[in-house]
Amino acid sequence: MSILFRKRKAGLTPQLLMAAWINGKDLPLAHMNLNLTRNIIFFDIESTGLNVLRDRIIQLALVRYHPDDPQPIEKVYLINPKMPIAPEAVAVHGITYEDVKDKPSFDQLANEIYEFIGDADLAGYNSNRFDVPLLMEEFARAGIDFELEGRRTIDVQRIFYKMEPRTLAAAYKFYCQQTLTNAHDALADVRATVEVLDGQLRTYADEDYETPDGEVVPKPIRNDVQSLDAFTNDLNIVDVTQRLRYDTDGTIVFNFGKYMGKPVAEVLSRDKQYYQWMLDKEFSFQVKKIIKRLVEDFEKDA
C-alpha cells in the first residue's frame, strides 16, 4: 500500500505527508475499536518500487496497539535503500533519494524494528501481498528470520474487496437498483453492461475525479465515447496484455520479468537469446509485432 492506512484516510497527499514528517508536524492519531488479546501493529511501507524481492524499503511507519492501553505507540523511519528509487515510485510517494541518502540503512535499524514488533499480530492495506513479504525480505537480508507462524495478519483491503465486490452483478445492483438474473449468460451480461454504463453516466454526470496524486479531472464521466475511452484506459500501457509500457520519458519498457522497467529495444538488441525466447513463447501477436519493430528501428539507428 502507498501511505499509511490511517493517514490516507485523513485525505493527505503523499507530498503533504512527506512534508509533515520532515517538518515534525503531528498527524491525526487513528482511533481503533478492535478487540485485542495481544499487541497488533498496523504498518505501511513506501519503497523503491513494487517488486517485493528486488526493491527496498525507504519509509516504514508502524502503529502498535496494546490490549490494556488505549494509547498506541507510533514509529516512523526514513531508510537509505542503497539503490536508486524508481521515478514511478517517487511520483507516488514523493520521497527522493536526496531525502534518504543520509538516513540509516535497514540492516542498521533491523534489530530495533524487530524488537518493536515483537510477537505482535500485523495489519495493513494490501499488506499480505506487498508490505508483509517486503518486510520479511528486508529482515532476511539483515540476517533476521522474521516468522509469520503463530502471528495473525489482517489485510484491510481484502475485507473491502470481499464485502464490496466489483462484479457485474454488484455493479448492476448498485447503479440500476436491480438484481441481475441469468448472470454469465453472454447476452444477459451485455444487456446489463449497457444499463450499468447508463447508470454511471447519470450518477457521475457532475462529479470530478481526483487522481491518487491529487490532480483533479473535471467531470470525466461524460456522454462522449472519446472521454470514456481516455478515462477507462491506462495511457502508459502499450499492449492489451500489459507486458509493455511507457516510462516517464515515453520510452517503451518491460512491464514484467527480470528486465522490468528496462528499455525494450536496447535490451532485446543486446540479449538476442531473450529476444528469441519472447518470439517463441506465449506472448501475444501484438507484443511480438511491437518488439520486432522496436529492435529493427533500434539496430537501424545504431
d(CA 32, CA 15): 26
Position 88 scores a pLDDT of 86
The residue ranges of every structural domain in the chain are 5-161, 165-232, 244-301
Contact indicator for 100, 58 with CB cutoff of 8 Å: yes
The DSSP symbol for 263 reads B
Query: If we measure between CA atoms, which residue out of 71, 66, 98 comes closest to residue 84?
Result: 98
Give kind and range of the element (H or E) at residue 163.
Answer: helix 156-163
Q: Which residue has the cell 516517464?
A: 248
CA-based end-to-end distance of the chain: 41
What are the grid coordinates assigned to 195, written together? 444499463
- Dihedral Cα 31, 35, 39, 43, nearest 10 deg: -40
What are the grid coordinates assigned to 115, written together? 524488537
Position 202 scores a pLDDT of 96
**Right CATH for 5-161 from 3.30.930.10, 3.30.420.10, 2.60.120.10, 3.40.50.12160:** 3.30.420.10
d(CA 17, CA 94): 9
pTM greater than 0.85: no
Q: Which residues have C-beta within 8 Å of that of residue 118, sequence separation ≥ 6?
A: 39
d(CA 259, CA 59): 25
Identity of the amino acid at 30? A
pLDDT in tens, the chain (302 residues): 433 333 333 344 444 444 444 444 455 566 678 899 999 999 999 999 988 989 999 999 999 999 988 889 999 999 999 999 998 899 889 999 999 999 999 999 999 999 999 999 999 999 999 999 999 999 999 999 998 989 999 999 999 999 999 999 999 999 999 999 988 899 999 999 999 999 999 999 999 999 877 889 999 999 999 999 989 988 889 998 999 999 989 999 999 999 999 999 999 999 999 999 999 999 999 999 999 999 999 999 87
